[in-house]
């Protein structure tokens, strides 16, 4: 079967260009540029790379951006004080605290300290709760990126069986919630599988749309999918690679070469969901600065 490649890199550029046009209009109307702050703790290599990518995207959109760095030894009280200052700063529209945090800091306490109106990651319980009952909110960047991919590629989701592999708070749960909502994209019958699911293939074979977010390279093979499935691969694992300039390569949860010939459409890794996540964070930041979803009911 000839499959359609869901090119997240290309689509993300379209989204960033749209946002940049919006920013130019704001500036022309005498408003300031949207401002995103990323809080980065320690020197985790993957987090450094992700934050650098987010700051680069800010530049492409015409946003102001700031990276606020803390050492690995920052105390929770210091971090909470920094968050309180960002909450109070009228020059900051949205901010993120890049995860993971060092083990001595309670991640949930940090997330709950963020003003939900500036929570462009959509991690605060206020945003998660509003998402679950279908109220306007900040939708997490990865779930929003997945929905945008389905929407912009014109993939009809109504009545489809969507199987989500992974139940994380960042991807699996909010994605399942979005796709079951009475909206388009949405209106799916949703099954969520996880590490305690026996015979995973039994479920994945029933999927019209398969979304994997577990970080297990090669987990999904051709014997686990049906002909004509749409596959969105959220897994991003770094594997050492001697021939890559960076010394590593990114691989998804799906054995792409094996699975793709059976798909109607599939995302590559890299260049699929990853760039859409960053573009969606930019979308959320633009919303925070212009039409905050938490002001709407």
Query: How many residues make up the chain in this entry?
Result: 297
Q: What distance lies between CA 122 and its chain's CA centroid?
A: 10
Judged by beta carbon, residue 98 or residue 285, the one nearer ligand GUN is: 98
- Among residues 93, 98, 118, 253, the one annotated as catalytic is 98
Tell me if 207 sits within 8 A of 180, measured CB to CB: no
Does 51 sit near ligand GUN (CB under 6 A)? no
Residue 118 annotated in active site: no
Rg, Å, the chain Cα set: 19
- Cβ closest to ligand GUN, residue 26 vs residue 99: 99
Order of all β-strands in the sheet with 35-41? 64-70, 35-41, 94-97
Q: Identify which range of 96-104, 177-185, 212-220, 260-268 contacts ligand GUN by CB under 6 A.
A: 96-104
- From residue 22, alpha-carbon distances to 163, 172, 256, 277 in Å are 35, 31, 36, 19
Distance, in Å, from the CA atom of 63 to the CA atom of 51, rounded to the nearest integer, reads: 15
**Residue closer to ligand GUN (CB basis): 138 or 256:** 138
Q: Catalytic: 54?
A: yes
| Number of other CB atoms surrounding residue 213 within 10 Å | 24
Q: Which is nearer to ligand GUN, 145 or 186 (CB)?
A: 145
**96 or 219: whose CB is closer to ligand GUN?**
96
Given 119, 121, 208, 233, the catalytic residue: 121
25 carries an active-site annotation: no
Could you identify the residue written with the tokens 């209009």?
A: 25
Contact yes or no for 267/231 (Cβ under 8 A):
yes
Question: Which positions ≥6 away from 2 have C-beta within 8 Å?
Answer: none
In the range 157-186, which residues lie near ligand GUN by CB under 6 A? Answer: 170
Check residue 98 for interaction with ligand GUN (CB under 6 A).
yes
Q: How far is the CB of 225 from ligand GUN (least distance, A)?
A: 26
Q: Is 141 in the site for ligand GUN (CB under 6 A)?
A: yes
In this chain, which of 16, 19, 34, 121 binds ligand GUN, going by CB under 6 A?
Answer: 121
Work out which of 86, 96, 209, 282 binds ligand GUN, going by CB under 6 A.
Answer: 96
Quick one: 43 exposed, middle or buried, by C-beta within 10 A (0-12, 13-18, 19+)?
Answer: exposed
> What is the size of the binding site for ligand GUN (CB under 6 A)?
8
Distance between terminal CA atoms of the chain? 45
Residue nearest to ligand GUN (CB): 99
Minimum distance between the CB of residue 224 and ligand GUN, rounded to whole angstroms? 26
Which spans of this chain sit near ligand GUN (rule: CB under 6 A)? 96-99, 121, 141-142, 170
| Active site positions, annotated | 54, 98, 121
């Amino acid at each position: 079967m000839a499959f359609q490649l869901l090119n997240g890199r290309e689509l993300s550029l379209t989204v960033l260009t749209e946002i940049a046009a919006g920013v130019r209009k704001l500036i022309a109307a005498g408003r300031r540029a949207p401002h995103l702050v990323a809080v980065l703790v320690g020197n985790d290599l993957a987090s450094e790379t992700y934050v650098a990518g987010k700051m680069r995207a800010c530049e492409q959109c015409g946003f102001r951006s700031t990276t606020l760095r803390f050492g690995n030894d920052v105390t929770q009280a210091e971090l909470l004080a920094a968050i309180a200052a960002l909450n109070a700063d009228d020059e900051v529209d949205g901010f993120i605290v890049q995860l993971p945090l060092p083990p001595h800091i309670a991640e949930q306490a940090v997330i709950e300290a963020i003003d939900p109106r500036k929570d462009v990651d959509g991690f605060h319980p206020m945003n998660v709760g509003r998402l679950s009952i279908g109220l306007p909110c900040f939708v997490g960047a990865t779930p929003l990126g997945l929905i945008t991919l389905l929407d912009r590629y014109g993939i009809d989701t109504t009545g489809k069986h969507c199987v989500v592999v992974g139940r994380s708070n960042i991807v699996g749960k909010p994605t399942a919630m979005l796709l079951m909502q009475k909206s388009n994209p949405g209106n799916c019958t949703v099954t969520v599988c996880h590490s305690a699911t026996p015979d995973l293939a039994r479920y994945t074979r029933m999927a019209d749309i398969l979304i994997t977010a577990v970080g297990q390279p090669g987990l999904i093979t051709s014997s686990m999918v049906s002909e004509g499935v749409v596959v969105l691969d959220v897994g991003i694992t770094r594997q050492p690679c001697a021939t890559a300039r960076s010394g590593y390569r990114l691989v998804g949860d799906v054995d792409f070469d094996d699975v793709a010939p059976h798909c109607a459409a599939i995302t590559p890794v890299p260049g699929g969901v990853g760039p859409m996540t960053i573009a969606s964070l930019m979308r959320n930041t633009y919303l925070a600065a212009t039409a905050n979803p938490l002001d709407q009911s």
